[in-house]
Each structure stands twice: as C-alpha cells, then as structure tokens.
Amino acid sequence: MFSFRKKELVISRKNLKYNGTFLQPWAVAIVSAVLVVLILVMGFLDLRRSDSNLVGFMEDQALSTISVLQRLTEENLKSIITVTDKKGSNIKTASQEEANYSKRWVIDALTEFGSQIDKEWKKGKINNNNLKKLAADNKFWYLAVLNRKGQAVYQSGHLQTNMLDKNELKKDGRKLTTIDLIEKIRAKQGIGFVALRRKDNSGTVVINLDKPGLIYWSLKVAVERGIKKIGEGHGIAYLQIIDDQNKLLSGIGQLTKGLSSNDFNFPAIMSGKVRIISRKVNSGDSKILDMAAPLYIDKKIVGIVRIGLDRGSMDNIIAENRQNIFVFMIFVVLIAILSMWLLYHDQNKHLSGIIEMERRLEKAERLSSLGQLAAGVAHEIRNPLNAISMATQRLKMDFVPADPNKAAEFRNLSGVIRDEIKRLNGIIEEFLSFSKSRRLQLSDFSVIDVLQKIVSLIQEEASVRGITIETRWREKQVIIPMDVNKLQQSFLNLIKNALESMPAKGKITITVDKEGKNYILVSISDTGCGMTAEEIEKIFSPEYTTKEKGVGLGIPLASEIIRGHGGEIRVISRKGEGTTFEIVLPRERLSEKSSS
C-alpha cells in the first residue's frame, strides 16, 4: 500500500512543480507601460484631431462669410458698372442729379474723402507731398486743392495737359484755370472728376479718376457696402479686404495687437494656390483664429479677405476634451496599475500555494517513507530485541555472581539493558502506529467520552507535577464518525505534548465547541513555554523534536490521524505564553475515497 502511494505522490509533485510559465513582474510592468504609452499617444492624437476639426469648422465658417461677402460685392459692383457703362464712364460733379442710386455710392464715398482733405487743408496740414501720397494710395489720376479763382494751390503732381491741343489751353487769349482744364480733359479723354466747392467759394477740392481708379473705387465701395450688410458680431473680431497691391479697401474692427499686413504669404494666396490659411493668435485676453483667403469677383482673384474669429468657445471645447481625455487616461493608467498589482498578487498567491503544496507533498513522501521504514524496523528489530530481552532475564535469574558487590553491579547493568530494550520497543510501537495511521475503521462515537478517558489516564501524572487539567464541554454529546483508538491516540499525543511543555505547575484546558454548522472544534491549551513561528513551522516534520530522547513522531502522527478523519489541525502559540492546538473535525462521515 505505501509503495503505491509513494509513486502516486511523486507523480503529483512532478505535475504541480512550477515550470516558470507565470509572467514575471517586470514583464507585466513592461506590458502595462506599453499600454499606458499607447493610451497617452492615442489621447494626444485625439486632442490634435479635435483641435484640427474645430479649426476646420471655423475655417468653413470664415469661408461661408467670405462667400456671402463675395456675392454681395459682385451684386454691388455689377450695379455700379452697369450704370457707368450706360453713361460712358463719366463722373462729373457731386450735384449731378441724373446719377442713379448705385452710382451715388461711389460719388458719396469720393465726396466723403474730399471732405476729409478739405478739413486737413483748413488746418494747414496739406501740401504737395501729402496730396501725392494720397493720390498714389487711393489710385487717383489727379488730386488738387484750388483757390477761389480755380487755380491749383497744392496738387499731387503737374496736371497732364499734353492730351489737349495748344489752342485748347487758352480762351480769349488767356490761360484756362485748372478747373477749366480738368473739365476739357473729362470731355475729351473721359477722365471724370468730383469737385467739392466750399459754401463761401473760398476753395475747391478736385479728385480725378481714370478707368483703373474708377474700378478700384467701385470695388472699394462695393466691398464696403457688402461688409455693412454682413455687419459686425457673429464672432468676427475683424474683417479686412486688401486689393492686389496690398492696399486696404475696407474693413471692420481693428487687427489684434501684434498683427501686421506681412503675417501671411499674400502672393501665395493671390495666386490661388491655397484655399485658406489660418493660425492661432494670443494677445492678452484676446484669442483669435487669424485667417486669410482670396476674394473672387467673376471667378477672378481681385484681393484678399483677412478675417479674425474669436476662438474662445473653440478653446473651451478643446480644454473640456483635453480634461476628459486626461481623466480617461488617468483612469486607464490606474486600472493598468491595479491590474498589474492584482496579477502580481495573484501570481504570488498561486506560487505560494504551489510551494505549500510541494512542501506538503514532500512531507507526505517523508511520512510514507517512514511508514515503510516502520514496517521494516518492526520486522528486522523486534525479534532480535525479544531474544535479547529473554537472554537478559535468564542472565539475571541464573548467573548472578556470588560476590555481593558484583551481584549488585550485575543487577544494575541488567536493569539498564532491560530498560533500553523497553525503550526500543516503544520506538518500534510508535513507528508501527505511524505506518497504520491512515487505515481507519470509522464508527460513530462521542468525542467527549474519548477526551474524558484520556484525562482520567493522565490525571495522576499531572497532579504529581502540579498541573491542573480543566475541561469545558460547550457541546453536549458530540457524536462524530471516528476510529476511536487512533483518534484517542492523536488526542493523547497532543495532551502529553502540552503536559511535557510545562516543567512544573501550570494548567491544561480542553474545550469542545462547534465550528460552523458541519464541524466541531477541540482546543487543547497549555500555559507552557510556547513556540516561535519558526518552531511552529517545524513541529509537523517527523524528524523534528525538542526532547532529548524523543523521535519527533507524536505531533506528525496526531496530524496524520486528524487529516485521515477529514479534519485539520491549527497551532496558536507565542514564546513564553503557552500553546493552543485547535482540532477541527467533521460531524458527518466523509466519502469512501476521503476516509481511505
């Protein structure tokens, strides 16, 4: 029987031995770190994607506004040009009544501009250089301020009269005034003009426009009226229209501080290579998305629209997305760390369980080997010991020396031999009992009766040593399936161990109580020397003993018997404070496999 069981235990041990397939902590850490990095990268990519989508949305919004502006500008410009074509591109005076409403837009704009020049003239801030710069910036063919007699006081340049005949420069033998010459040039070359005369007739401001200038101002006026229809608001911080010469046609709002006309690659925009260019601008509390796109009139690029949209709401959305992503990433990182810790903890738990199982299997193998050894020892040693014992008795009876001194010494030596043979017989009996500890013959019997019988057996020895035995039967008539002799031997070994742990005086307490619904608990407590944690780990090993003449089989034997009954044994001890053995036994009979 023992040979077969040993083979079975060895096979089980091989199958349960750890083969290194568990993930190591560093491998788990690397996997978790890679996962965290991937999540962080995905989070940042998602942030960039959200930012790009919002910027794209705002660009579409800007393009939609520009599209409306283009449509309004085309309608206004078409209305102005149609009227001009009918009249032969002539613009005479501000009081010309036959000009229709659309034509009045250009005249009103020029009139407003002339009024500003007149104001500056009154302040003494007008000179030839000023007028030259104003004419160049606003594409005027000629710009001048005239005195009461109609002669130029200041002008943007010499009036080009070479397009007139010499006889046209004079009338009745005198030179014509500047205003008369401008009128002749208009009549002959179609270069119109607007003249603003003061009410007191003290001066006149004259603005001449050739065809390119007329187109420029028509476009300028058309753009201005389109912008007025769009109006401010709608998140628009500023809107500027710039012509192909990088001159400002019109606009609303002011550029954010720090911006200039050179911020974008305007030639690339004018070439039509890009649909729209945008960039984020932060200036103080202002957060603007600065954008530039080409302005199309009749499918031709005539200028650039620069628009700034307040991106406060966009930044709020991005900040909220960033916060949500960071919270999500932190949550995932925590889950990864927790998973790593749980995996590491679970692996350690399983490894500890495997190590404990290997230890128990090793212990079972040793116990099984000791069982075989016990059978061999009983067979090989018992008979020679009986022969030695009989020979010793014969010597003691028949061969006592006549000399009294030698006779006393003879009896002493023979007594030593007899005692040692008796001790050897006891050791053999322990081995035999250990080898048979698993072969149980179960029957229903009272645990209290078994314990009471043991107490009766050792009561006298305990009294001699000054040790008190106290019993506490908290459960009455506890009947369980047991092998009475073997369970009695197990309890006796534990109680004797408690007795021997106290050199003199002390107390042993034996308690019977319930443990849950299906188990009972037998506690054997002493006030002896106690044990350390290391000693508790060793007491179930057959080779371990603290007694000078012990073989260390008492507690392992008790443990084997209790385990054979389907129970377990627990040890609670502290050095110098005593020890408690707790034996848990089932109330019901185990299956045939468990009890065998």
CATH code for the domain of 571: 3.30.565.10
Task: Please tell me the predicted confidence (pLDDT) of residue 28.
Answer: 66
Q: Which of 263, 363, 365 is nearest to 308 (CA)?
A: 263
**Does the pLDDT value for residue 434 go beyond 80?**
no
Residue range 362-387: average pLDDT? 71
Task: Please tell me the predicted confidence (pLDDT) of residue 33.
Answer: 77
**Does the pLDDT value for residue 436 go beyond 60?**
no
**Does the pLDDT value for residue 390 go beyond 90?**
no
Encoding tokens for residue 525? 């407590």
Q: Which residues pair with 242 in a beta bridge?
A: 248, 304
Count of structural domains, the chain = 2
Q: Is pLDDT larger for residue 569 or for residue 93?
A: 569
Angle between helices 101-122 and 211-230 (to 10 degrees): 100
Residue 307 in domain: no
Say if CB 196 and CB 116 are below 8 A apart.
no
| Predicted confidence band of residue 145 (pLDDT cuts 50, 70, 90) | very high
**Does the pLDDT value for residue 32 go beyond 90?**
no
Q: Examine the fold and report which residue of 173, 199, 215 is the final residue of a domain before the chain moves on.
A: 215
Cα dist from 196 to 113, 115, 122, 154, 169, whole Å: 10, 8, 14, 15, 23
Strands (E), 110-214: 142-146, 152-155, 170-171, 174-175, 192-197, 204-209
Q: Examine the fold and report which residue of 178, 195, 215 is the final residue of a domain before the chain moves on.
A: 215
**Does the pLDDT value for residue 577 go beyond 60?**
yes
Q: Which of 17-26, 50-59, 339-348 has the lowest mean pLDDT?
A: 17-26
23-27, 330-334, 441-445, 506-510, range with greatest mean pLDDT: 506-510
- Rounded to an integer, what is the distance from CA 342 to the centroid of its chain? 17
Q: What is the DSSP string of 476-502?
A: SS-EEEE-HHHHHHHHHHHHHHHHHT-
Task: Please tell me the predicted confidence (pLDDT) of residue 584.
Answer: 94
- Report the side by side order of strands in the sheet with 578-586: 467-473, 506-515, 519-526, 578-586, 568-574
Task: Please tell me the predicted confidence (pLDDT) of residue 82.
Answer: 57
Q: Which of 124-128, 299-303, 365-369 has the lowest mean pLDDT?
A: 365-369
32-46, 82-96, 420-434, 563-577, range with greatest mean pLDDT: 563-577
**Does the pLDDT value for residue 91 go beyond 70?**
no
Residue 231 in domain: no
Say if CB 23 and CB 343 are below 8 A apart.
yes
SS (H, E, C) 91-118: CCCCCCCCCCHHHHHHHHHHHHHHHHHH
- Rounded to an integer, what is the distance from CA 319 to the centroid of its chain? 18
**Does the pLDDT value for residue 583 go beyond 90?**
yes
Q: In which element (H, E) is residue 287 found?
A: strand 286-297
Residue 545 in domain: yes
**CA 233 to CA 468: how far, in whole Å?**
100
Task: Please tell me the predicted confidence (pLDDT) of residue 15.
Answer: 46
**CA 411 to CA 337: how far, in whole Å?**
79
Residue 249 in domain: no
**Does the pLDDT value for residue 595 go beyond 80?**
no
Give the SS3 label for residue 96: coil
What's the N-to-C CA distance of the chain in angstroms?
11
Residue range 28-44: average pLDDT? 77
Q: Examine the fold and report which residue of 191, 215, 239 is the final residue of a domain before the chain moves on.
A: 215
Task: Please tell me the predicted confidence (pLDDT) of residue 249.
Answer: 81
Task: Please tell me the predicted confidence (pLDDT) of residue 447.
Answer: 92
16-25, 171-180, 358-367, range with greatest mean pLDDT: 171-180
58-67, 244-253, 416-425, range with greatest mean pLDDT: 58-67
Q: Which of 183, 250, 253 is nearest to 218 (CA)?
A: 250
> How much of the chain is in helix, strand and coil states, percent to nearest 5?
55, 20, 25
Encoding tokens for residue 432? 């035999």
337-346, 359-368, 473-482, range with greatest mean pLDDT: 473-482
- pLDDT tens, 96-135? 333 344 567 788 888 898 999 999 999 999 999 999 999 8
Give the SS3 label for residue 208: strand
Angle between helices 2-16 and 312-398 (to 10 degrees): 160
- pLDDT tens, 195-242? 889 888 889 999 998 888 887 888 888 888 788 777 665 678 888 888
**Does the pLDDT value for residue 430 go beyond 80?**
no
**Does the pLDDT value for residue 550 go beyond 60?**
no
Residue range 319-347: average pLDDT? 79
Average pLDDT, the chain: 79
**CA 567 to CA 558: how far, in whole Å?**
11
Range(s) of the domain holding residue 507:
438-595
**Does the pLDDT value for residue 511 go beyond 90?**
yes
Say if CB 536 and CB 581 are below 8 A apart.
no
- pLDDT tens, 271-291? 888 888 888 888 777 788 888
Task: Please tell me the predicted confidence (pLDDT) of residue 374.
Answer: 64
**CA 290 to CA 307: how far, in whole Å?**
6
Q: Which of 188, 193, 187 is nearest to 156 (CA)?
A: 193
